[in-house]
Amino acid sequence: MQTVQDAPALRAAIRGWRSKGQTVGFVPTMGNLHAGHQSLIKLARARTDRVVASVFVNPTQFGPHEDFERYPRTLLQDQTALTDEGCDLLFAPEVATIYPYGAGHSVSLHVPQITDTLEGAQRPGHFDGVATVVCKLFNLVQPDLAVFGQKDFQQLKVIERMVRDLSLPLKVMAAPTLRADDGLALSSRNQYLSVAERARAPLIHDTLLKMRELLAKGHAWRALEQVAAARLLRAGFVPDYAVIRCAEDLAEPADGRREGLIALIAARLGSTRLIDNLMFD
């Protein structure tokens, strides 16, 4: 696997593949890779001739009191994991490559409506940073296919909408959430959990399953949100939200709707913020 840090080297490698008629898959990451990330590489590998991954901890998607500085940088381990999965090229740029005028003075993208709720409401400006960096990376790599995990469901929807709205010539593919045996969604932030917190963390997935079960029995979605939040609070979580939404646009569903729904939870356990979701169909 080749590792490059600058745009000319990245484009030269991709240009060589394109000259041979090869297709390009892309998996953008912030590094500290785990099995969930590796599954994205496998999906891209199965569907394209060449696979590019990026490792870039994007400063513009972190708020002033979030964990940008302590976000783990594990490039050597990431290179090994990507090589094992057959990744062809790792793009690991410096901040100045992505933001030549500085992160605070860059062109910024805003995807309206779908960013106004849930994560967007809890983390103002977060999705502007996500949309901006992903669009920049798409412009640099120019992939045929980009693969994103469903665990960050709202992020996935933001990127899908951005791609369609800007008429970007690529396909966005959603990959299933990978879980530990006890149901906890794999995440780089799981390593921050203490032993006791890790033992409690699967309650998030269990609560999502309970929300789906009770909705299927005819309970109103608004009541289920209250039940889920109370359940998490009793177990020591501090929920930011525990909601049921329409999967296509994250709008509140009409009363009585049972199709095309998703439950989403974000909650703090100790100092660690965890997110997860579950489709109901």
Among residues 37, 110, 126, 205, the one annotated as catalytic is 37
Distances (CA, A) of 231 to 67, 122, 135, 156: 27, 21, 39, 27
| Rounded Cα gap, residues 155 and 134, in angstroms | 11
Largest CA distance in the chain: 59
pTM: 0.94
Do 188-276 and 2-175 have the same topology in CATH? no
**Considering the domain 188-276 in this protein, what is its CATH number?**
3.30.1300.10
pLDDT, position 242: 98
Q: How far apart are CA 155 and CA 81, in angstroms?
A: 24
Tokens of 19: 């000259």
Contact assessment for residue 124 and residue 63, using Cβ atoms and an 8 Å cutoff: yes
2-175: CATH topology is Rossmann fold (3.40.50)
Give residue-wise pLDDT tens across range 19-55: 999 999 999 999 999 999 999 999 999 999 999 999 9
The backbone torsions φ and ψ at residue 215, rounded to the nearest 5 degrees and listed phi first, read -65, -40
**Is 242 in a helix, a strand, or coil?**
strand
Q: How many CB atoms are located within 10 Å of the residue 28 CB? A: 24
37 is annotated as an active-site residue:
yes
Q: What are 162-205's pLDDT values in tens digits? A: 999 999 999 999 999 999 999 999 999 999 999 999 999 999 99
**250: which DSSP letter?**
-
The per-residue pLDDT string of the chain (281 residues; one tens digit each, 9 = 90 and over) reads 999 999 999 999 999 999 999 999 999 999 999 999 999 999 999 999 999 999 999 999 998 778 788 888 999 999 999 999 999 999 999 999 999 999 999 999 999 999 999 999 999 999 999 999 999 999 999 999 999 999 999 999 999 999 999 999 999 999 999 999 999 999 999 999 999 999 999 999 999 999 999 999 999 999 999 999 999 999 999 999 999 999 999 999 998 888 899 999 999 999 999 999 999 97
Residue spans of the domains in the chain: they are 2-175, 188-276
- Specify the DSSP element, H or E, that contains 37: helix 35-47
